[in-house]
Chains A and B, each alone.
Chain A
Amino acid sequence: MSDSKDIYYIPHGTKWPIVGSIGMFLLMVGASNWLNGSDSAQYMLYAGLLILIFMMFGWFGLVIRESQQGMYNAQVDVSFRMGMVWFIFSEVMFFAVFFGVLLYTRMLVMPWLGGEGVGIATGQYLWSGFEAVWPNNGPANLGGDFDIIPAFDVPLLNTLILLTSGFTLTMAHWALNKGNQRKLVMWMVATVLLGIAFLFYQVEEYIHAYTELGLTMGSGIYGSTFFMLTGFHGFHVTLGTIMLIVIAVRCAKGHFSKENHFAFEGVAWYWHFVDVVWLALFVFVYVV
């Protein structure tokens, strides 16, 4: 890596973006037709997914090779960092929507449906006898009666797991800066295992919710917000874990040095972000 700012670097063209677009297109069209009831459309969906995965291998592989050849200078490094930071900001806004929905429905919609702010007769006529207490699945009792997952049970365990993973990842970073390859890989493997453990418990909770508690996505607004928030979070943990695995492999191959490890840091930022979202989730979805 060169640290002189006045050497510009412009990458050559590649086919990967257009491959990605084609994959995305097939995925989306396949998913659309599949949701509209065509069974055979799922093959198009899978094809799109495979092409997208192929694109990611190809594109990231290319960038990794170029980075290993020392083609990137300090300015490129900063561009990558900014890209990652602003990408994470967009993710923050995405999650903010669902937290906003949770607050809005709990603080405003519930009382309104309970009769606040409208005439008594209107409330009586529309939803007589409706008790607006959280957790709630609405005046129509959509999805039937359900129980919720207590916070200080598996969710608490998962909180501890994720917090620990944040710690192990920081230790890995520390080992990287010390140039201690063996410890670096060890801490990375620990982080990955913690990520997988989190996902394992999360899946188990979902199975528990669906099969024993009667809590499903169809359980009115509680089920909607619960599964939307935890579901998208779980999806992000899945992505994060895959990214961590890639980084762990690259650590083992000795790709990173104290000076040059943007990919490591980018993934670490992402993981910490997922961690923080979980903390908010734990408080607002499970505890209060």
Chain B
Amino acid sequence: MTTTTHEDHNEEDHHDHKPQGFLNRWVYSTNHKDIGTLYLVFALLMFFIGGAMAMIIRAELFMPGMQLVQPEFFNQMTTVHALVMVFGAVMPAFVGFANWMIPLMIGAPDMALPRMNNWSFWILPFAFTMLVSTLFMDGGAPAGGWTLYPPLVLQTGDSFIFAMFAIHMLGISSIMGAINVIATILNMRAPGMTLLRMPLFVWTWLITAFLLIAVMPVLAGAVTMLITDRFFLTSFFNAAGGGDPVLFQHIFWFFGHPEVYIMILPAFGIISEIIPTFARKPLFGYTSMVYATASIAFLSFIVWAHHMFTVGMPLGAEIYFMLATMMISIPTGVKVFNWIATMWRGSMTFETPMLFALGFVVLFTIGGFSGLMLAIVPADFQYHDTYFVVAHFHYVLVTGSVFALMAGTYYWLPKWTGHMYNERLGKWHFWLSVVFVNVLFFPQHYLGLAGMPRRIPDYSPQFADFNMLSSIGGFAFGLTQLMFVYIVWKCARGGETATAQVWEGAKGLEWTVPSPAPFHTFETPPKIDDSVVAHGDHM
């Protein structure tokens, strides 16, 4: 009854064949699974490049005094580490998951705009070549922090403009990727896959994609004004000409705060898939999860100045942004409650994905609490720009976003490769990670409370012990991640054959196709009824 037109002319011969040759298969690809794989591999590479920079930072901070690197180079490391991790690792990794899983979860044959999907990916390697090449330029890479505040960032050497254009390219890539996700979810769902039957991962990505389209152009505007201030005589951020450097901070954080939710909402989605599977219960409060996600997204637009409490805003603004920020804890709390309620009286097992998911729930919540502390204006006057902030965002981003990425990888790896990974090694990977990540970041809370500033390569001797501890945790956490590469590599190459359902408690469309998922899936729309819907209060 239905046909699919993929390859050029002779559709039938090509039916389930992958395109031949490297160029056709990977570079010209229009296949969501292959493009998803490209995104994931690229993100992993970026994790290790960004991770190497983090190791340099921790090595320099191992002891007080200047040990290894020049202060300028230290600042280049903090800046480029952040840019690489945010734009190169975490965001592309989630886009990789979106590519692989959204079509499988909604019963679509592919993304809505497959060629644009290809372009979204293939901009990234070029953009990062530009960004990373700045390390080798006159004056080095940008060193003014990933937040790019003027006037400092305008003093960057030759690399300034390369970094700015790289960010523009990343923005174009993200916007196209997000448009694709929205069009896919709104237009490609199999008949019967109503919005409130969609898995939560799909929901979180729908909302994330909206955030991306709304705020990446804002970043582009900010970057454009930096460029014209530097090269074309404008004075947007120059008080002598009637501009205002603080204006940049407002624009940056109007992008920046939604951006942190861009990095966490899909993580919420992944965790909401995993916990029900291993608790063998439907997700508790599915509809409230959808509304909580939407509320978080909405609130994320009206809290940005909590990053700027100390710049000298009027008192009314400080109070408003404090209260608005605290309101985010409400929908976030709803989510944490629902995850716990899902597990309540479930028949739980603790395979690696579940371990990472549980690690996520506990440790992300710690990050949420430290965020709440930072949201208190008078307290933030003390904590701002200290290691307490560093500890906060690493709890939400590493034990939050990155743990969710690990959890999701272990969860869907058998579906992607057709093999089970080595469960024993996976558990080791989790336990080593969870111990060392806390050794790495927990002491940073104390350092920050005691007043150690961030982004400074040297420190007063009173901070020596906690820094040494943190560095040891850092090296160990970094090394542990090599295990992850090994486990994934082994699993891709072979291992116990995975069944279609993979996990006993798994429900949802992606588990109805064989493992590994064939090159083309759902060429004819699947039948959707409550028996294949993952979970939820179906409507």
B130 touches A223 (CB 8 A): no
- Out of B27, B166, B188, B243, name the residue touching A75 (CB < 8 Å): B188
Interface of A is mostly: helix
Binds B, one of A133-141, A147-155, A242-250, A266-274: A133-141
B183 touches A25 (CB 8 A): no
A109 partner residues in chain B, CB cutoff 8 A? 242-244, 247
In the complex, A91 Cα to B182 Cα: how many Å?
A: 16
Is A12 located at the chain interface by the 8 A CB criterion? yes
A12 touches B242 (CB 8 A): no
Is A93 located at the chain interface by the 8 A CB criterion? yes
A93 touches B161 (CB 8 A): no
Expressed in whole angstroms, the minimum distance between the Cβ of A271 and any Cβ of chain B is 19
Expressed in whole angstroms, the minimum distance between the Cβ of B509 and any Cβ of chain A is 15
B244 touches A35 (CB 8 A): no
**Contact (A83, B126) CB under 8 Å given A93-B215, A93-B218:** no
**Contact (A113, B126) CB under 8 Å given A14-B115, A224-B228:** no
Interface string of B1-21 (1 = CB under 8 A from A): 111111110000000000100
Is B533 located at the chain interface by the 8 A CB criterion? no
Is A221 located at the chain interface by the 8 A CB criterion? yes
A221 touches B241 (CB 8 A): yes
**Contact (A136, B242) CB under 8 Å given A83-B116, A218-B233, A228-B225:** yes
Is A15 located at the chain interface by the 8 A CB criterion? yes
In the complex, A113 Cα to B243 Cα: how many Å?
A: 9
Expressed in whole angstroms, the minimum distance between the Cβ of B30 and any Cβ of chain A is 5
Of the listed residues B29, B224, B235, B238, the one surrounded by the most CB atoms of chain A closer than 10 A to its CB is B235
A6 touches B27 (CB 8 A): no
Expressed in whole angstroms, the minimum distance between the Cβ of A144 and any Cβ of chain B is 12
Expressed in whole angstroms, the minimum distance between the Cβ of B231 and any Cβ of chain A is 5
- Out of A21, A25, A86, A93, name the residue touching B179 (CB < 8 Å): A86
- Out of A17, A78, A110, A112, name the residue touching B119 (CB < 8 Å): A17
A11 touches B130 (CB 8 A): no
A113 touches B115 (CB 8 A): no
CB closest residue in chain A, given B525: A6
In the complex, A71 Cα to B11 Cα: how many Å?
A: 13
Binds B, one of A95-103, A169-177, A201-209, A280-288: A95-103
In the complex, A79 Cα to B257 Cα: how many Å?
A: 29
Expressed in whole angstroms, the minimum distance between the Cβ of B29 and any Cβ of chain A is 6
A28 touches B4 (CB 8 A): no
A93 partner residues in chain B, CB cutoff 8 A? 213-215, 217-218
A136 partner residues in chain B, CB cutoff 8 A? 242
- Out of A89, A94, A224, name the residue touching B236 (CB < 8 Å): A224
A98 touches B115 (CB 8 A): no
B1 touches A6 (CB 8 A): yes
A28 touches B187 (CB 8 A): no
In the complex, A5 Cα to B242 Cα: how many Å?
A: 56
- Out of B112, B119, B228, name the residue touching A21 (CB < 8 Å): B119
In the complex, A136 Cα to B232 Cα: how many Å?
A: 18
**Contact (A138, B5) CB under 8 Å given A87-B179, A218-B233:** no
In the complex, A8 Cα to B11 Cα: how many Å?
A: 13
A138 partner residues in chain B, CB cutoff 8 A? 235, 238-243
A79 touches B236 (CB 8 A): no
Chain B interface size, as a band, is: 35 or more
A28 touches B168 (CB 8 A): yes
B2 touches A6 (CB 8 A): yes
- Out of B4, B119, B182, B525, name the residue touching A82 (CB < 8 Å): B182
In the complex, A18 Cα to B126 Cα: how many Å?
A: 10
Interface string of B165-194 (1 = CB under 8 A from A): 110110010010011101100111001000
B461 partner residues in chain A, CB cutoff 8 A? none
Interface string of A9-23 (1 = CB under 8 A from B): 111111111101110
B180 partner residues in chain A, CB cutoff 8 A? 83
Expressed in whole angstroms, the minimum distance between the Cβ of A259 and any Cβ of chain B is 18
Is B234 located at the chain interface by the 8 A CB criterion? yes
B7 partner residues in chain A, CB cutoff 8 A? 12
Is A166 located at the chain interface by the 8 A CB criterion? no
Expressed in whole angstroms, the minimum distance between the Cβ of A185 and any Cβ of chain B is 30
In the complex, A75 Cα to B110 Cα: how many Å?
A: 12
Expressed in whole angstroms, the minimum distance between the Cβ of B308 and any Cβ of chain A is 13
A21 partner residues in chain B, CB cutoff 8 A? 119, 122-123, 125-126
Expressed in whole angstroms, the minimum distance between the Cβ of B441 and any Cβ of chain A is 34
B126 touches A101 (CB 8 A): no
Expressed in whole angstroms, the minimum distance between the Cβ of B23 and any Cβ of chain A is 8
B225 touches A16 (CB 8 A): no
B130 touches A217 (CB 8 A): no
In the complex, A221 Cα to B242 Cα: how many Å?
A: 5
In the complex, A98 Cα to B220 Cα: how many Å?
A: 11
In the complex, A137 Cα to B236 Cα: how many Å?
A: 11
Is B494 located at the chain interface by the 8 A CB criterion? no
**Contact (A94, B221) CB under 8 Å given A10-B110, A105-B243:** yes
CB closest residue in chain A, given B5: A9
A110 touches B242 (CB 8 A): yes
B242 touches A104 (CB 8 A): no
- Out of B130, B179, B218, name the residue touching A29 (CB < 8 Å): B130
A79 partner residues in chain B, CB cutoff 8 A? 112-113, 183, 187-188
- Residue pairs across A and B with Cβ atoms less than 8 A apart, 15 shown, are A6-B191, A8-B523, A13-B115, A13-B118, A36-B161, A82-B179, A86-B213, A90-B216, A94-B218, A100-B251, A101-B221, A108-B244, A138-B243, A139-B240, A217-B233
